[in-house]
Chains A and B, each alone.
Chain A
């Protein structure tokens, strides 16, 4: 009996809920940690970023208008989808990060648990970050956290799944829409998660995943004036320059951190949240 030939997959970008090749038509070769051919993935362009930001902007209103409970259900559904494809994710993590299968499964498990952690945050952000303010006067005054809007994420270059999950899920859980540039050399775990999001009841455009060269995608995200926040986790050498570019439209910028993607802090969650305060009179 002859051995069966694999059916291989083409890795595409996820923009506005659709799987697209790059608008530019380009692709680039991704190699595994051992240096062997792993996949050709779409090489996203500035125009893909533009399309993704446009999709994210219109999706963000829908995402935020949904109840926090509903957003939590959608994120939890993503965890369910990822759990069902744990082995597949692990094989990509193993290839990308050069770890053995068991360790890759651990990484994936932690990433999935992290999705669950954020799924539980959607309806608690307001309770932890918001509250009543006892102003000196006849006013009911309360502050609510609201999302910044469209957040650009430069996913970590090294941590292809766990880091991707943490940087992407945090702004999503707070009600933002996300345009994420994957790790340049290790894009497939993030692309897979993007694929899963399309079967997890996400409104189209809430999560847009673009693979490609960081030096092309990062400036496009940093300079786009309709992007409200920027996570520079995977920015690399151009980190400070990108931060400066982001200043043009007063973006909320989160600088690259220590690479802990499972911390019990709300720091990343708070990065792309605004405070909205309402005063209301009290009187007969």
Chain B
């Protein structure tokens, strides 16, 4: 087989259901098939046995770089650190111009303007986490201000968090309305909706939250903030990729997936690419529709890349830490 495309057949976008209220939303989400945890985990584990070698590995490593949202979300972040990260985002391997730029840098809103300035003229987007990241514990008014602030500073993408408490207690309309409002506040900026799957716990919840976010207008659905102990896992990514695939088939709209938190090695990242490839299909194998939210991953990918070029393993210090 030469093409692993699963052949998504897009429906007419006109079929996108308009959600009139919480009752209808509940009905749509309840109509989704359940996820058998044993089966989903077994499928993810089986895909993890794919062996990606030689040319396909090289292509995968470059694809991973181009899909990275290079991220720093620490209280200790400084404009200097972000500037350095932006330089790295633009040209990850100073010694090799063939290494692609990353997709975006991801920072707190107050650092957006500086990042935007530093990245001027590059293909790299600036993403800001907003809506009272990471807990989402603020009033809607505050969250919208947070978003407006980031957008005004030039953010190309907004990573918002959903109100997990509202979702888990069944206030689905509230979660939906918040996403709709944030989407409106984003204007032209792309909206990534963080589900914080580690707090949703079950795969059924992940599937339903994915659909809820997509129905509310998310451009991307994202696994995690990276701030809770359980972040992205392969079976969670599997379930979310099934969701975007099925959503595209039933509504005609393509939604991206971002996995974030705990992905540190090229090997892990390649496993995610395999899941993308064999679940949603080759359509999703591009930065417009799949992202890695990560910081240390980039250096490991660069080291693997250099290993392929030089034929030997290289020191970690080959690439700058920030």
Q: Do chains A and B touch in the complex (CB under 8 A)?
A: no
Interface positions of A (Cβ within 8 A of B) = none
Interface positions of B (Cβ within 8 A of A) = none
